[in-house]
Amino acid sequence: MSLARRALRLATHMGFSDLQAELFYQHDVRLSAAVLNRLMQQVGGVAEQDRKDVVEALQALPEGVAREEQALSKPAIARPKRLYISCDGVMYPTRYRQVEGDRKRIVYQEMKCGTVFWQEGNSTWHKRVISSRDDAQGFGAGLWELAVRCGMLQADEVVFISDGGGWCDTVARTYFHDAERILDWYHLVEHVWEAGRGLYSDEQATKKWVSRCTGLLRESSGIGLLRYLERCRRSHASRPNGSAGLDALDGLIAYLRPRVAITDYVDYRARGFVIGSGIMESTCKQLVGRRLKGSGRQWSESGAVAMTAMIGQRINRSWDAFWASRPIHRAA
């Protein structure tokens, strides 16, 4: 049990080949990649099943007091005054192949990742994470339960920040409709850059236009940028051959207009809110990027889910408590 616990913790940091060398160096033990993979899938599978059990129990209850009482029955993690919630998806390579003509292409799948984070005093940040391959409803239920245990129901302010992805919006509307909703600043700026490159072939002209747009975002929020984009569109449409950049402008306008209500960055900054999802990005790297992605790495469905579940146990500082539940015996 002790060796398995140590081996799997190392496995959340490094590939099995490096792990085998480290185990031999530290413990004079040789374990094959097949044994390590089987162990990871068994133990990680238990961690994933624990998460699913929580989600299914919540979804079986009516929304409201019953669900809240169920979530609050577990020990509280924190009681912050301001709580942030975020989610995103990360693509990772699988072992599966899709035939395209005479070639077989690697199939990529999305791992949904979520984090709940808060600041202690004026310096230290804390977070808890979750991951799954569930649909938006199932994933959202798990993220909501985690947020409740992190003090969401007692917090003075709750902020949900993410990109404008469809399933992220579904999670926000379904489970966090009372939270302050913020469109990630950096994600919107990426869309501005994309439109700028569609408008101008010259890099300097692109930079100048993007700088103008981001300045407007800082000074007058998303509504100010939207009005400027609409003026730009009218101006380009009136020029000879001006239609070349209209598709880029139309795409950015179509993205921003339905989300303008969650782009009041002037107000967010004045209230001291985080407006970029940097902690979410780092969570995605920790849960998926560093271990599931990389040269030659390919994953089965169960393997990817098990690995991210175990990484989550480490990040959440619940590793020892999880092992105290005897996951190997439960897997058997």
> What pLDDT, on a 0 to 100 scale, did the predictor assign at position 100?
82
pTM, full prediction: 0.92
> What pLDDT, on a 0 to 100 scale, did the predictor assign at position 237?
77
Q: Which amino acid is at 227?
A: R
Q: How far is CA 281 from the centre of its chain?
A: 7
Write out pLDDT tens, residues 89-121: 999 999 999 888 888 899 999 999 999 999 987
Q: Has residue 235 got a pLDDT over 90? A: no
Q: Which amino acid is at 88?
A: D
> What pLDDT, on a 0 to 100 scale, did the predictor assign at position 244?
64
> What pLDDT, on a 0 to 100 scale, did the predictor assign at position 130?
98
> What pLDDT, on a 0 to 100 scale, did the predictor assign at position 245?
77
- The kind and range of the H/E element at 19 are helix 16-27
* Count of other CB atoms within 10 angstroms of residue 246: 16
> What pLDDT, on a 0 to 100 scale, did the predictor assign at position 240?
66
Q: How far is CA 41 from the centre of its chain?
A: 22
Q: Has residue 242 got a pLDDT over 60? A: no
> What pLDDT, on a 0 to 100 scale, did the predictor assign at position 214?
97
Q: Has residue 19 got a pLDDT over 80? A: yes
Q: How confident is the model at residue 164 (pLDDT cuts 50, 70, 90)?
A: confident
* Mean pLDDT across the chain: 93
Bridging pattern class, strands 103-120 and 124-132: antiparallel
Write out pLDDT tens, residues 57-75: 999 999 889 999 999 999 9
Query: Hey, what are 241's tokens?
Result: 């051959």
Query: Hey, what are 202's tokens?
Result: 């010259």
- Which percentage of the chain shows pLDDT scores above 70? 98
> What pLDDT, on a 0 to 100 scale, did the predictor assign at position 317?
96
Q: How far apart are CA 233 and CA 254, in angstroms?
A: 12
Q: Has residue 193 got a pLDDT over 60? A: yes
- The kind and range of the H/E element at 57 are helix 33-59
Q: How far apart are CA 329 and CA 42, in angstroms?
A: 10
Q: How confident is the model at residue 243 (pLDDT cuts 50, 70, 90)?
A: low
Name the nearest CA neighbour of 330 among 7, 55, 46, 49.
46
